[in-house]
């Protein structure tokens, strides 16, 4: 199985917080799942922890390499820029990642790298992996919060994305 590509400064184990969620399913394709992830207008339909999505240049709702957008999640207004965008290609994993940040001072600033990997496995299975690393005081606080809001929130995102893809299939 493939792994997330981590930029310097966001390598798991070297950041203030790390969350990893993974699902392996059957009955859907990489392309069907990608369509749900790539379309930010669909996110609030299947994921309750995201709102106020807007693109700086008026583009969207589809993402693209270098796209600059903002949204609210986990109580933070997040600015984001896509820094990895590899749509599905037969024989390769689909990849998407963005650097996100919540402006603020030393007590409130948050920087994250949120990455997604969707790949075909043998036997008609598809693996969806989403991982996020975070730096800043809010990240240190999230790391010790129980239940873990990042793990639970991202699991809801995965489950919702799968459900939305199944619904779109009919």
Q: Is the dihedral of CA 123, 163, 150, 50 positive or negative?
A: positive
| CA distance readout (Å), 81 to 7, 57, 164 | 14, 12, 24
For tokens 């030393």, the residue is 106
Task: Look at residue 11 and tell me if it is in a domain.
Answer: no
Task: Look at residue 153 and tell me if it is in a domain.
Answer: yes
pLDDT, one tens digit per residue, over 140-151 is 999 999 999 999
pLDDT, one tens digit per residue, over 78-113 is 999 999 999 999 999 999 999 999 999 999 999 999
Task: Look at residue 99 and tell me if it is in a domain.
Answer: yes
Task: Look at residue 134 and tell me if it is in a domain.
Answer: yes
Task: Look at residue 93 and tell me if it is in a domain.
Answer: yes
Give the structural domain span for 126: 17-169
First to last CA, the chain: 29
Task: Look at residue 81 and tell me if it is in a domain.
Answer: yes
Q: What token pair was written down for 21?
A: 């969620």
Q: Assign residue 145 the CATH number of its domain.
A: 3.30.530.20
| CA distance readout (Å), 56 to 49, 68, 166 | 21, 6, 31
pLDDT, one tens digit per residue, over 31-55 is 999 999 999 999 999 999 999 999 9
- The number of folded domains in the chain is 1
Q: What is the DSSP letter of 7?
A: P
Strands laid side by side in the 51-55 sheet: 17-26, 125-135, 110-121, 94-102, 76-86, 68-73, 51-55
pLDDT band at 75 (very low <50, low <70, confident <90, very high): confident
Give the count of alpha carbons within 13 A of 94, CB side only.
21
pTM here is 0.96
Task: Look at residue 2 and tell me if it is in a domain.
Answer: no
Name the nearest CA neighbour of 42 among 137, 165, 124.
165
Q: What token pair was written down for 151?
A: 């793990």
Task: Look at residue 147 and tell me if it is in a domain.
Answer: yes
């Amino acid at each position: 199985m493939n792994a997330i590509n981590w930029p310097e400064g966001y390598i798991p184990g070297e950041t203030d917080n790390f969350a990893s969620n993974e699902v392996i399913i059957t009955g859907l394709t990489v392309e069907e799942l990608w369509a749900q992830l790539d379309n930010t207008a669909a996110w609030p339909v299947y994921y309750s922890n995201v709102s106020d999505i807007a693109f700086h240049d008026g583009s969207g709702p589809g993402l693209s390499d270098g796209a600059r957008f903002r949204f609210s999640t986990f109580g933070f207004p997040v600015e984001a820029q896509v820094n990895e965008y590899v749509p599905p290609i037969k024989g390769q994993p689909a990849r998407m990642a963005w650097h996100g940040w919540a402006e603020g001072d030393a007590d409130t600033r948050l920087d994250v790298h949120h990455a997604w990997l969707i790949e075909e496995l043998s036997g008609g299975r598809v693996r969806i992996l989403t991982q996020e690393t975070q730096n800043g005081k809010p990240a240190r606080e999230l790391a010790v919060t129980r239940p873990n809001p990042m793990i639970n929130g991202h699991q809801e995102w995965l489950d919702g994305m799968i459900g939305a893809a199944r619904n779109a299939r009919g």
